[in-house]
Amino acid sequence: MTVHGVMGPIDVSELGQTLIHEHVATADWSMRMAFGDQYYEHDVVLEKAVEQFNRAKACGIRTVVDGTPVNMGRDIALIREVAERTGLNFIVSSGFYYQDEVYLNWRTEDEIYALISGECRDGIGKTGVRPGIMKTACADAGITPILDKVFRAIGRVAVEQRLPIFSHHHAHLGNGDEIMDLFESVGVAPHQVVLGHSGDTDNTDYLERMLERGCYLGMDRFGYCDVGLGLKDRVRIIAELCTRGYGDRLLLSHDLAAYFAVFGSWDDFKADRLPVGADFTFIHTEVLPALEAAGVDPVQVAAMIERNPIDFLDVR
Ligand SMILES: [Zn+2]
C-alpha cells in the first residue's frame, strides 16, 4: 500500500515517525504578489525551513504532513525543495480554509468538487504532485453555506480517492458532531477523518463523544503551549483519553510553520523574532517524555507518533 507524497508514492512501510499537521509556509499568494520582499523571500524561507525540519529529522521524524490548503498559500514547489534537501517525506493537502472566499461563494458544490477531484486525479497544477490528504476547516462561524458546499465536495472526493481528511475545528465550540454528520452524509467513513485541534479543549467528555463516533482526534497544537492550553493540561487530557481506551486514535503534532505569515512582520521573521518558542522538535523533547511521566504506557506513546498516523493515512 502506498500514499501520495510530494516526491511520488511512498510505501506505508517507509513513513516512520510522522508529524500529522505542520506547514512549511503559510504565505498568501496575493500578498506575495502585492508586497514582494516586504512579505516573503523564497530563498530565506527555504533555508530556514530546511534547517528547522532537519532538526525534527535528527529527533527521528521521517514524514511530515503539510496541512496548507489552496487558500493559505500552498506552495508545492517550495515543499518539494524542502523534501529534496532534507530527505524527509512530505505529504501535501488539497482543500480550503474556512474564510468565505468570493470564488467559492459563486461556485456550486459540483464545480468545487470538479476542481478538487481534478487535482487529486491529475496532480496539482502542472507539478504532477497528488495530494495525500484532504483539508477542510470551520471556525467560530461554524459551517457557513459556503463551507457546507466545500465540506460536501471534499467529502465526496475523499470517498472516491480513498483519502483521509484533516478538518480544522474549534473544539471549544463543540461542532464536531455537525462536521461528522456532514461527512457521513456523503459516505465518508469516520476513521477517514481527524478532527483537528481537538487538543485545544479540556472538555474530555466532548472528546470522548467524538472518539465514540470513530474518528481520530488531532492533539496537534503542541507548538502553542505558551499561548493557549499549556503543556501540562494537554498531556493530562491525552493521558485521560488513553486511560479510557482511545490511545490508538490520537495524533500528535505542533501545527507550526517555518514561516507562518498571517501575523507579525517579515523583518521579525528574518531576525528570528518568532511569536512562539516551540519548534518542530518540541514533541520529542517535551511531549513524549511528559506523556510517559503522566503514566501513559511507553508503547502507546510511541504509537501516537508512528503507528497511529500511519493507520490514519493508509485509508482502507
Ligand atoms: Zn495548521
Q: Identify the pLDDT of residue 273.
A: 79
Give the Cα separation of 58 and 235 in Å (integer): 23
Ion ligand 1 nearby residues (CB, 5 A)? 67, 255
Residue 3 lies in a domain: no
CA 19 to centroid of ligand 1, rounded, Å: 12
pLDDT number for residue 125: 96
- Assigned domain for 4 exists: no
Considering the domain boundaries, does residue 1 fall inside one? no
Going by DSSP bridges, is the β-strand pair 61-66/89-91 parallel, antiparallel, or unpaired? parallel
pLDDT tens-place string over residues 252-289: 999 999 999 988 889 988 888 776 778 999 999 999 99
Do 276 and 227 contact (CB within 8 A), yes or no? yes
**CATH classification of the domain holding 176:** 3.20.20.140
**90 within some domain:** yes
Q: Is residue 2 part of a domain?
A: no
| Domain-embedded: residue 15 | yes
Measured between its terminal Cα atoms, the distance across the chain in Å is 10
Residue 242 lies in a domain: yes
Structural domain contains residue 5: no
Of 25, 16, 21, 24, nearest to 57 (Cα)? 16
Residue 26, domain extent: 10-313
Per-residue pLDDT, 265: 87
Give the C-alpha separation, 82 to 69, whole Å: 17
Residue 275's pLDDT is what? 67
- Going from the Cα of 245 to the center of ligand 1, the distance in angstroms, rounded, reads 27
- CA 21 – ligand 1 centroid, Å: 6
Please state the domain count of the chain: 1
The segments of the chain whose pLDDT lies below 70 read 275
